[in-house]
């Protein structure tokens, strides 16, 4: 039975594709990839006979029609999406027409840019006694935010914020975070094309200068913005340690050591 796989291509480095994603790319008869976001290197494993199409100029209807038509004559069809399909991937919008057409679908997760950005910058998104919460969000632009999810409201939690699709809205980010009580010298991390060989850029700054630094670096697309009280912890002289590895802490695999 034909099946359409929605596959996460990860952040850009083809080595960060999952083994399952690589196997499916090898097996695929047809691949529709988001060329404006997905590196062509992700197609390294595709066979010579595979029908590969770039979707960057397509509408939602054209994407769904292409997938449905290919599924009629091919056993394995892939929709290759940047990062993870479940996060800002228009996944349900594409799957509903396929459900109506009676086509089987499956989803393969991928590494999202928030994780890749923290990794390449050697940062952690959570720390004991600092923050245990990570919020994935975006800044309101042409797409409105639901009630209660404005950046200012989210920022009041003073936890880690990973902001997608918002690099052109840094002025709004500065205004919202300051209004939420963040200091102007709070550390901000911006990573452009995290993990893309030869194209990755890491910009570190503060809330009051990160916009100018990004302008100087020419970063205006495909960037992850991270605001977090954990940034820079690698250089802290004092750090609250995890209880899991504390010698005085008992858990089911180890008994606490006696003093």
Give the number of other Cβ atoms within 10 Å of residue 120's Cβ.
Answer: 19
The 10s digit of each residue's pLDDT in 201-246 is 999 999 999 999 999 999 999 999 999 999 999 999 988 877 666 6
Contacts of 120 (CB under 8 A, 6+ apart): 191, 194, 195, 200, 202
pLDDT score of 259 more than 90 = no
CA 33 to chain centroid, in Å, comes to 17
Q: Answer whether residue 188 is part of any domain.
A: yes
How do residues 58-88 score in pLDDT, each as one tens digit? 999 999 999 999 999 878 999 999 999 999 9
Which residues span the domain enclosing 68? 3-108
Inter-helix orientation angle 210-217/170-179, to 10°: 170
User: 108, 125, 158: which is the final residue of a domain?
Assistant: 108
Residue 244, domain member (yes or no): no
Q: How many domains are there within the chain?
A: 2
45 falls within a domain: yes
CA distance 35 to 149: 30
pLDDT digits (tens, 9 = 90+) for 227-238: 999 999 999 998
| pLDDT above 80: residue 248 | no
């Amino acid at each position: 039975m034909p099946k359409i796989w929605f596959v996460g291509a990860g952040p850009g480095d083809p080595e960060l594709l999952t083994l399952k994603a690589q196997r499916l790319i090898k097996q695929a008869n047809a691949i529709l990839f988001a060329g404006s976001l997905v590196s062509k290197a992700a197609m390294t494993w595709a066979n010579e006979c595979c029908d590969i199409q770039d979707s960057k100029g397509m509408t939602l209807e054209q994407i769904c029609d292409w997938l449905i038509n290919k599924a009629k004559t091919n056993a394995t069809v892939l929709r290759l999406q940047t990062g993870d399909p479940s996060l800002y991937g228009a996944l349900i919008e594409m799957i509903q027409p396929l459900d109506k057409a009676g086509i089987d679908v499956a989803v393969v997760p991928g590494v999202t840019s928030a994780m890749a950005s923290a990794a390449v910058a050697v940062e952690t998104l959570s720390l004991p006694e600092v923050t245990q919460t990570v919020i994935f969000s975006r800044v309101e632009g042409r797409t409105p935010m639901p009630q209660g999810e404005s950046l200012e409201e989210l920022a009041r939690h003073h936890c880690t914020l990973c902001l997608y699709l918002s690099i052109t809205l840094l002025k709004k980010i500065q205004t919202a975070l300051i209004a939420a009580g963040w200091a102007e010298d709070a550390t901000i991390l911006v990573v452009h094309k995290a993990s893309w060989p030869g194209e990755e850029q890491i910009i570190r700054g503060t809330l009051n200068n990160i916009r100018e630094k990004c302008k100087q670096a020419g970063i205006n697309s495909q960037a992850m913005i991270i605001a977090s009280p954990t940034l820079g912890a690698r250089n802290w002289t004092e750090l609250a340690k995890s209880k899991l590895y504390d010698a005085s802490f008992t858990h089911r695999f180890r008994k606490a050591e006696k003093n």
